[in-house]
Amino acid sequence: MRLGVLDVGSNTVHLLAVDAHPGARPLPAHSHKAELRLAELLDDEGAISCAGVDLLSKTIAEAVQAAEDKGCEEVISFATSAVREAGNADQVLARVKEETGVDLTVLSGEDEARLTFLAARRWFGWSAGKLLVLDIGGGSLEIAYGQDEDPDAAVSLPLGAGRLTASLLPGDPPDPQDVRALRRYIRAEIARTVGEFSRLGRPDHIVATSKTFKQLARITGAARSAEGLYVQRELSRSSLADWVPRLTTMTVEERAALPGVSPGRAAQLLAGALVAEAAMDLFGADELEICPWALREGVILRRLDHLPT
């Protein structure tokens, strides 16, 4: 069957259509993506503005039409931190349902971490042993650890690259004092959770998902996406440490010219790099393995688990 998953995130509204059935690997059939940047459409009280809701409804309607055009039998729709934390979330969800027919499920941060962990576990398999999985989104950082399909620990921190850029990193390029202040804030937030994971023992593999980690791996020398899903990609702490000072002095335009960095994500690349570097330092990760699957795939896999065989 053809399934669609509609992800309303902090940066994009992304429809992924896959051909799938229980026990088989989901095969991507179509991708429809629109950059929305919900975090930048908030008013002074933290609510999504009227214009933002208009744009959100229009974008979701277009994604639903794309799913219909591509023959999706079912579309699983969910929203993450941008909608979850909006001051007018209930009104936004009601209006989206009224105007598009889509009943968005709002995932908690822990749900995001657990579903992303499931995707990483299925990708790497049981032989990978204990996994520590890191995912930097637009609104939050998810961390999960475990040796089964359901992690033993999962947390979500307000350290998304888009959120941090919009609220704490003005300037192009940013002021060095702002960068230092953001670095301190990020490390203090992550340090509060390290003990919870350290008590569970050393992971066998430390895995990273999400566009931010993929872009950081690419600028530090990893293979291009055009070379395929199955090419091993890694991000080393030493390479990232070399790049962070360079990113702090670059303008958004200069970052957008880097290999693998899209113009829409260039502004938040520095904040993402600071989060990635802090997480690697505090969790003692010399190297991260990049996983092609993340939250959307986790949602699809969980849905397939509940289909009759």
pLDDT digits (tens, 9 = 90+) for 58-79: 999 999 999 999 999 999 999 9
* pLDDT at residue 203 tops 90: yes
Task: Give the chain's mean pLDDT.
Answer: 94
* pLDDT at residue 171 tops 90: yes
| CB-based contact 21:1 (threshold 8 Å) | yes
Distance CA 156, CA 19 (A): 30
What is the per-residue pLDDT for 239?
97
* pLDDT at residue 309 tops 70: no
Mean pLDDT along residues 74-92: 93
* pLDDT at residue 268 tops 90: yes
- How deeply is 216 buried, as exposed, middle or buried, from its count of CB atoms within 10 A (0-12, 13-18, 19+)? buried
| CB-based contact 163:186 (threshold 8 Å) | no
The type of residue at 306 is H
Distance CA 125, CA 148 (A): 10
- Retrieve residue 3's tokens: 């399934």
What is the per-residue pLDDT for 23?
81
| CB-based contact 99:57 (threshold 8 Å) | yes
Could you give the percent of the chain with pLDDT greater than 90? 84
Distance CA 199, CA 216 (A): 29
* CA distances in angstroms from 135 to 195, 276, 282, 294, listed in the order given: 19, 9, 15, 8
Encode 14-35: b = buried (16+ Cβ within 10 Å), e = exposed.
bbbbbebeeeeebeebbebbbe
Instruction: Write the DSSP string, 189-207.
Output: HHHHHHHHHHTT---SEEE
**Helices 237-249 & 211-219, crossing angle to 10 degrees?**
90
* pLDDT at residue 287 tops 90: yes
- SS3 assignment, position 20: coil
Distance CA 42, CA 82 (A): 9
Distance CA 39, CA 162 (A): 7
Q: Which domains does the chain have, with CATH numbers?
A: 2-106 (3.30.420.40), 121-295 (3.30.420.150)
What is the per-residue pLDDT for 256?
97
Q: Which residues, in sequence order, are bridge partners of residue 7?
A: 14, 78
What is the per-residue pLDDT for 96?
95
